[in-house]
């Protein structure tokens, strides 16, 4: 009964000054909402990247220039220029364990159609790209080996390019200009969606020889992706690629390779570890708002103790014990934090969905993140409510009754 009475008194006290109670809860509301939103964004990005990499299959190897190490693993630097189209052709012809090879020469270019123009990612590659990247044409056709051989000026467009640049018209057979060079559209790629802030449909695909010789003026490639015949041959394929490319690059024994080879599982693990750390970092930063909110609760509760000194003295005079006063003020503090937590949860879930709709990012709202944020809010309410509650409980009833 004492707890029920304390709850009733606490509710009446807080509802008696709604604006002050709401402003007190604001820090907790923002903190809980921010924690849930940040965790949802972090987990969404990780899930999106994982799905993208897993969709490529478990027997894909990526070869990139440079030998930069990150998280104990080697990853190429995009600015390094140590891989060439000749390397891809060598692997296609000589590698025993490789079934498909898809080199990529990539850069941004100014693309024009009619009176509209935009800066778009242009990827020069080979017909094997569809198989290796699990990304296929849904309308028209992909370019052929003959188009690559003769450096044909043909292209395949992503969904976003068609929507934004061509305003949704049927692109097949139309002419567009890439860096003022005319290309004929022969196909439309299937929709892949966004990966965080990166739109995978805002791309144009052209033959790699056309990209290098007619557009970019280089023989370097950004990366070479290969599909291995069997997952059991991954280790043997890596060694074979290392051997063939080191010989091609004329690297002496003991000299570090000017390229790196890694499989998708390794890359996925690194991304997941990084994404997890990033998510915790975002949640930690957002949790600071909860601490600030807790300090706000303690401040208001101390003010409340001062304002209600005579009330506390009266309650003690008619038989209320220290424990009763302590529980009353702890309940008020907990009520503030839990109400703020509930509103914050609604704002966090709503914020995650709003970001997903407006920015097109994938967000994942999980029950464990909601529960964690709610329990943390409750802990904040109890922790920062203890001092004001103890101060109220220790008031001398005679001095409290004399307080003006």
Instruction: Specify the pTM.
Output: 0.63
pLDDT tens figures, 124-149: 999 999 999 889 999 999 999 999 99
Residues 111, 118 contacting (CB under 8 angstroms): yes
pLDDT tens figures, 321-346: 888 888 888 888 888 888 888 899 99
Residue 183: name the closest of 204, 163, 167, 200 by CA: 204
Say how many CA atoms lie within 13 Å of 245 toward its Cβ: 28
B/e letters for 285-301, b = 16+ CB within 10 Å, e = fewer, are ebbebbeebbebbbebb
H/E element, 288 = helix 264-307
Asked if residue 318 has pLDDT above 90, the reply is no
Give the residue-averaged pLDDT of 202-227. Answer: 94
Residues 381, 338 contacting (CB under 8 angstroms): yes
Asked if residue 58 has pLDDT above 70, the reply is no
Q: With the CA atoms of 163, 166, 170 and 173 taken in that order, what torsion angle do they form, in degrees rounded to the nearest 10? A: -140
DSSP for 82-127? --BHHHHHHHHHH-SSEEEEEEEEEEEEEEEETTEEEEEEEEEE-T
Q: How far apart are CA 209 and CA 114, in angstroms?
A: 26
- Token code pair at residue 177: 């200009």
Asked if residue 299 has pLDDT above 50, the reply is yes
For residue 115, report the phi and psi dihedrals to the nearest 5 degrees: -100, 15
Asked if residue 74 has pLDDT above 60, the reply is no
Binning pLDDT at 50, 70 and 90, where does residue 77 land?
A: very low
Task: Say if residue 258 is exposed, middle or buried (CB neighbours under 10 Å; 0-12, 13-18, 19+).
Answer: middle
Q: How far apart are CA 84 and CA 215, in angstroms?
A: 16
pLDDT at 170: 93
The more confident residue out of 361 and 341 is 341
Q: How far is CA 301 from the centre of its chain?
A: 39
Lowest average pLDDT, out of 94-98, 138-142, 230-234, 247-251, goes to 230-234
Binning pLDDT at 50, 70 and 90, where does residue 264 land?
A: low
Asked if residue 293 has pLDDT above 90, the reply is no
Residues 302, 388 contacting (CB under 8 angstroms): yes
Binning pLDDT at 50, 70 and 90, where does residue 184 land?
A: very high
pLDDT at 390: 87
pLDDT at 71: 44
Residues 177, 112 contacting (CB under 8 angstroms): yes
């Amino acid at each position: 009964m004492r707890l029920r009475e304390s709850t009733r008194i606490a509710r009446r006290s807080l509802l008696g000054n709604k604006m002050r109670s709401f402003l007190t809860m604001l820090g907790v509301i923002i903190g809980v909402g921010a924690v849930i939103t940040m965790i949802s964004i972090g987990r969404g990005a990780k899930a999106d990247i994982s799905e993208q990499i897993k969709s490529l299959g478990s027997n894909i190897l990526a070869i990139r220039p440079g030998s930069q190490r990150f998280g104990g693993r080697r990853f190429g630097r995009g600015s390094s220029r140590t891989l060439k189209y000749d390397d891809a052709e060598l692997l296609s012809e000589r590698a025993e364990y490789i079934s498909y090879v898809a080199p990529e020469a990539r850069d941004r270019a100014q693309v024009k159609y009619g009176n509209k123009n935009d800066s778009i990612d242009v990827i020069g590659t080979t017909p094997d790209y569809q198989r290796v990247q699990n990304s296929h044409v849904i309308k028209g056709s992909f370019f052929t080996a003959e188009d690559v051989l003769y450096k044909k000026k043909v292209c395949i467009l992503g969904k976003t390019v068609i929507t934004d640049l061509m305003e949704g018209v049927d692109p097949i057979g139309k002419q567009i200009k890439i860096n003022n060079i005319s290309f004929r559209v022969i196909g439309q790629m299937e929709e892949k969606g966004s990966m965080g802030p990166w739109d995978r449909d805002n791309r144009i695909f052209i033959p790699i020889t056309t990209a290098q010789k007619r557009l970019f003026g280089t023989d370097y490639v950004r990366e070479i992706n290969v599909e291995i015949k069997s997952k059991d041959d991954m280790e043997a394929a890596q060694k074979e690629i290392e051997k063939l490319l080191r010989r091609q690059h004329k690297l002496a024994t003991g000299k570090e390779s000017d390229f790196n080879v890694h499989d998708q599982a390794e890359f996925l693990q690194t991304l997941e570890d990084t994404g997890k750390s990033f998510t915790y970092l975002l949640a930690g930063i957002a949790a600071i708002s909860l601490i600030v909110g807790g300090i706000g609760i303690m401040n208001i509760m101390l003010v409340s103790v001062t304002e209600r000194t005579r009330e506390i003295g009266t309650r003690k005079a008619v038989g209320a014990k220290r424990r009763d006063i302590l529980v009353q003020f702890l309940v008020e503090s907990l009520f503030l934090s839990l109400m703020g937590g509930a509103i914050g949860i609604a704002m966090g879930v709503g914020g995650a969905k709003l970001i997903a709709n407006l920015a097109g990012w994938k967000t994942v709202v999980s029950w464990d993140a909601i529960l964690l944020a709610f329990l943390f809010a409750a802990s904040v309410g109890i922790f920062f409510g203890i001092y004001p509650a103890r101060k109220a409980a220790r008031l001398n009833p005679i001095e409290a009754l004399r307080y003006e």
